[in-house]
């Protein structure tokens, strides 16, 4: 019985180099087809024209008021003069129930809980829709998804009625402390309103991300005796953190820049920055350089949040939006 000797084919370096050259050639060809010098130039020009008004407001916010009223912002390049008095005056200006500085703190008190509450509820609901079988799950998920098409304006009056009258079941108040008359120094109504409006989109995005987690991982945890609580807190939350962070950024920016919901639900002592800035625009009159300073005060926090976590914003939203 003769032994059969198996010989391995010799490595063909020339063929490998040829394949590498062909790959690079195809990459360059694809890059050439997908890029255009004309389109790049047009995009740069649009970006410049889009940025000029914002840059002019930024320069005006640091110029003395007398200079802003007598000369254009571009004169700063030949006669530079800057001051921080505009920001100090803007933060301490009154004219309404609150100063701009107090409203800045109110915006933080509104935006942070109004971001955490819907994320906490939506992550639990998304896990249930993705990994727990119950009757009517698909219909309920479609119903929740369809709530995204309901305009916010349609829900304002019913919510306002609910908060003003309270909700009772069998004579027992379910939300006894949420009446508008009883929360003059509270943010509860604004938190609840923002959470309600954010839940449909949050559940949809987080469900699509959580449902992509391999089922083998979940089954292995169940075999080891883990319950739903352990699976959710020890496995789902760490794995879904990109989607959670991305939606958190989206929700925080939306709540921070909101004016409609705050105007309807926030009591006079809890007005956010957008509402106070809008009210002060009339009392400041022709001192529009203070309006410029107040505008940049309002965008400091959103800029910090976005640039610090923007990598999660793109990665999480794309991961959660590719499956449905």
Task: Tell me which of 266 and 143 has the higher pLDDT.
Answer: 143
- Which whole number is the average pLDDT over 263-278? 80
Q: Which CATH superfamily is domain 97-321 in?
A: MetI-like (1.10.3720.10)
User: Residue 319 class from Cβ within 10 Å (0-12 exposed, 13-18 middle, 19+ buried)?
Assistant: middle
Q: What is the pLDDT of residue 35?
A: 65
Strands (E) in 95-250, as ranges, are 168-169, 172-173
- Which whole number is the average pLDDT over 218-225? 83
- Regarding pTM above 0.85, the answer is no
Q: Is the pLDDT of residue 119 over 90?
A: yes
- Which whole number is the average pLDDT over 251-256? 90
What is the per-residue DSSP string for 178-214?
-SGGG-TT--HHHHHHHHHHHHHHHHHHHHHHHTTS-
- Which whole number is the average pLDDT over 37-64? 84
The span from the CA of 176 to the CA of 12, in Å, is 80
**Domain locations in the chain?**
37-83, 97-321
Q: What is the pLDDT of residue 318?
A: 54
CB 195 within 8 A of CB 114: yes
Q: What is the pLDDT of residue 113?
A: 92
Q: Is the pLDDT of residue 323 over 50?
A: no
- Which whole number is the average pLDDT over 180-185? 41
């Amino acid at each position: 019985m003769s032994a059969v000797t198996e010989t391995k084919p010799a490595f063909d370096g020339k063929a490998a180099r040829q394949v590498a050259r062909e790959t690079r050639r195809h990459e360059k060809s694809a890059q050439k087809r997908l890029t255009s010098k004309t389109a790049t130039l047009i995009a740069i020009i649009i970006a410049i024209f889009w940025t000029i008004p914002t840059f002019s407001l930024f320069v005006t916010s640091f110029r003395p008021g007398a200079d802003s009223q007598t000369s254009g912002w571009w004169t700063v390049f030949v006669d530079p003069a800057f001051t921080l008095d505009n920001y100090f005056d803007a933060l301490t200006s009154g004219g309404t129930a609150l100063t701009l500085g107090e409203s800045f703190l109110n915006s933080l008190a509104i935006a942070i809980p109004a971001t955490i509450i819907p994320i906490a509820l939506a992550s639990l609901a998304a896990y249930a829709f993705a990994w727990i079988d119950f009757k009517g799950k698909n219909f309920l998920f479609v119903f929740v998804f369809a709530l995204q098409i309901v305009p916010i304006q349609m829900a304002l009056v019913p919510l306002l009625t609910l908060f003003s009258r309270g909700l009772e079941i069998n004579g027992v108040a379910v939300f006894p402390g949420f009446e508008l008359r009883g929360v003059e120094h509270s943010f509860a109504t604004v938190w609840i309103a923002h959470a309600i409006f954010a839940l449909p989109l949050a559940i949809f995005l987080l469900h699509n991300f959580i449902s992509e987690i391999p089922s083998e991982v979940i089954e292995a945890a169940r075999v080891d005796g883990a319950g739903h609580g352990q699976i959710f807190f020890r496995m789902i939350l760490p794995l879904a953190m990109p989607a959670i962070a991305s939606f958190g950024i989206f929700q925080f920016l939306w709540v921070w820049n909101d004016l409609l919901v705050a105007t309807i639900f926030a009591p006079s002592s809890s007005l956010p920055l957008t509402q106070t800035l809008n009210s002060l625009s009339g009392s400041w009159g022709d001192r529009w350089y203070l309006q410029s300073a107040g505008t940049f005060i309002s965008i400091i926090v959103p800029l910090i949040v976005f640039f610090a976590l923007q990598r999660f914003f793109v990665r999480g939203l794309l991961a959660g939006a590719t499956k449905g």
